[in-house]
A = this chain, B = another copy of it.
Amino acid sequence: MLKLKPARRERLADVLYGQILEQITSGELVEGAKLPSEARICRDFQVSRPVVREALMRLQADGLVVSRQGVGTFVKSRPSTRLTDFAVSAEIASYLRAFEPRLALETESAGLAAMRRTRAQLNQIGHALSALESAFSRGETGWEEDFAFHLAVAEAAGNELFPRLLEELQDILAGSMRMALSLTQQGSDERRRRVLEEHRKIFAAISSQNADLARLYMRHHLTESRARITGTHGDL
């Protein structure tokens, strides 16, 4: 059974998302379990229909639940229980949400970086990539090196507003990267190889000044990072 505490705070959809996520992660709601109807969640959680829809839509987008038209909504997969070792569920919702503006901003700045990067800016990105590899080989999470990599790409876009906006998101990004890379740290070797490979491809595309490729590989990397948090692809 889904247990819900009536909501008080402003981003009600986030709180609801977090409560359901927590029960899926903890195993209270098992795979295949049916969620109550929208009407029932509205009543139990004491919010309006759009709030419930938004929370369910995000859970579905994250691959955690699946809706079958006219039948109901079911738990689809269970993210790593380790997820809650690294963050509380309210934070997790906020970390996942940060991927939306990141996808917009960083895809664009990767494309611009491919067109405009100076030799010095390219080296900066290369240094951050090497530092990330070293951190992984030392068994560290490497989240500071990861942030440095993304910031170096934003700086290479040749428009100071891109790094400025990324820094505005720094707190939320730092938490998000720390959580994602803590999972990776405890995951398989193959998982770490993939994370490095995704960064390497972004670097190579910017290096060879191919803007479309840089956009694609940045968008792919962010999408896979998000899927690694929600456990969509299993351990990879």
Contact = CB atoms under 8 A, between A and B. Distances in A.
A60 B98 contact: no
Copies per complex of this chain: 4
Contacts of A123: none
Interface in A109-163: 109, 112, 116, 118-119, 157-162
A220 B210 contact: no
Which of A101, A116, A233 has its CB near the most chain B CB atoms (within 10 A)? A101
A159 B108 contact: no
Contacts of A159: 97, 100-101
Interface stretch (A20-28, A84-92, A164-172, A179-187): A164-172
A101 B108 contact: yes
A216 B223 contact: yes
- The dominant DSSP class at the A interface is helix
Contacts of A61: 210
B208 A213 contact: no
Contacts of A54: 116, 158
Contacts of A107: 104
16 contacts: A11-B160, A54-B158, A63-B208, A66-B208, A97-B159, A98-B161, A100-B112, A103-B108, A104-B109, A105-B105, A105-B165, A164-B168, A168-B168, A213-B223, A216-B216, A220-B220
